[in-house]
Amino acid sequence: MLLSAQSQWGIGHQHSIKEAGLVVEWGKGAHEVSRACVTLDLGGILTGETGKPGYRVSYQRCFFSPVSHWNDGSEVSIFYGPGIGGGAVRDHNGERGSIAFLSGTVGLHFLFPDSPITVSAGICAELGLHRERVSGGHSILRFYQNGLRRVWMPELHFIYHFR
């Protein structure tokens, strides 16, 4: 089963130290998909700084370049692509606020024969603006630092593809 045999759409879960949530993929071609994610931002949750997660909504366009085909029909591809997103999250200073960002992702995608489940492991960098409230009810825009500080934290995607 090659990447070109992958179905038109799938649904799954994203796991990471930085966020977790729902993923939906769809596509027309053999070597690209669109990926929409709705996730809870876990910044400050695992360290005990806060008990309230943030939320994020994002869209990515992922392109695949096959790098290995195994005898059993499995395939490994490199994936990469741009994206956009927004939400309400905490930045590195602990302040919660709204964000808007552009992203770039890269990683490995594993496709298994006779299995509707695919697995991806990658990293994602985000360049964006974070709006924080300051004293007096005013707000300021700052560079979203967690978008680059947390790039080293891998993301795992488990997607069930409908056939």
Amino acid 131: pLDDT: 94
Amino acid 1: pLDDT: 37
Report mean pLDDT in 10-residue bins for the chain, 163 residues.
57 94 87 94 79 92 92 92 96 88 97 92 96 85 92 95 83
Amino acid 5: pLDDT: 46
Whose structure tokens read 């488990």?
158
Domains of the chain: 3-158 (2.40.160)
Tokens representing 129 are: 């603006």
Amino acid 4: pLDDT: 45
Q: How far apart are CA 132 and CA 54, in angstroms?
A: 14
Amino acid 134: pLDDT: 81
Q: Find the length of the chain.
A: 163
Q: How far apart are CA 118 and CA 162, in angstroms?
A: 11
pTM listed for this prediction: 0.86
Q: How far apart are CA 59 and CA 62, in angstroms?
A: 10
Q: How far apart are CA 74 and CA 45, in angstroms?
A: 37
